[in-house]
Amino acid sequence: MAGDRLFGLGGKLAAVIGAGSGIGQAVALGCARQGATVRCLDVDVDAATETAETIAANGDAADAGLLDVTDARSVDDALDGVVERHLGLDIIVCTPGVNVRKLILDYTDADFDKVVGLNLKGSFNVLRAAGRIMTARGRGSIILFSSIRAQVVEPGQSVYASTKAGIVQLVRTAAAEFGPSGVRVNAVGPGVVETPLTAPIQEDPDWHGAYAAKSVFNRWATADEMVGPTVFLASDAASFVTGTLLMADGGWTAVDGRFEPSF
């Protein structure tokens, strides 16, 4: 395998869900830069179209479409449409997520259903639809988005953390089930990233600073910094990588505390 093509995505078709903003938008742009033809999918089709137009303006190939991860039929139709239009589907990346920050005793049934329905059931809908297509084709890479909250929690994160841990187990099971057909399944685990989802935290200086201090770099990640881990998992460089959670958290889950003793 030539070194200059190890991380390249030339000749591949990548469907990026959540491409209208945040990490999904950054990943769509990043896949295009690495040579993939990108299908930008989002519940906000206008936003997805803007991302596709940005890619096309840079001279790369992209188009856009509607996909609502909470609706299994929408997922099936959108991914079948990708295959029909592009005659293939090599990579699928699913980035959407939602959080309702409340203590367990304050959580309502509606709050629970909202978070589980999008994060966990939505990821399952994508995994099932992509797996059906890719196992039949005998190849492909599926990348879901988990979080540091799959491993560490704080008050108010019960349901969100449960869904992110659940995504990891979905990934592991799918890797076992799809692997014999040549399909790889992995997850990226971001720490705190500057996206619309985290805007309320970024607006609170104390909260923003506390999270920045959890990284060994003393800062938040940008959405662009999630592109490299995702492209790696999508590329032939990760040809023997499946069933894994790749942490991209600035050391958050590796370092226990911030006190530095004298030596």
Tens digits of residue pLDDT in 64-75: 999 999 999 999
pTM metric for this prediction: 0.95
Which residue in 62, 64, 18 sits closest to 226, CA to CA? 18
Q: Which residues contact 16 (CB under 8 A, 6 or more apart)?
A: 24, 27, 28, 31, 38, 39, 40, 41, 92, 93, 95
Percent of the chain with pLDDT over 90: 90
pLDDT over 70 at 4, yes or no: no
Whole-angstrom CA distances from 223 to 7, 86, 249 are 19, 27, 12
Q: What is the pLDDT of residue 236?
A: 96
Q: Which residues contact 159 (CB under 8 A, 6 or more apart)?
A: 100, 107, 111, 112, 115, 116
What are 7-56's pLDDT values in tens digits?
Answer: 999 999 999 999 999 999 999 999 999 999 999 999 999 999 999 999 99
Q: Active-site positions?
A: 160
Question: Which of 3.50.50.60, 3.20.20.70, 3.20.20.140, 3.40.50.720 is the CATH number of 9-248?
Answer: 3.40.50.720
Q: What is the pLDDT of residue 258?
A: 66
Give mean pLDDT, residues 157-175.
Answer: 98
Q: What is the pLDDT of residue 1?
A: 42
Which residue in 251, 249, 36 sits closest to 140, CA to CA? 36
pLDDT over 60 at 246, yes or no: yes
DSSP per-residue string spanning 128-151:
HHHHHHHHHHT-EEEEEE--GGGT
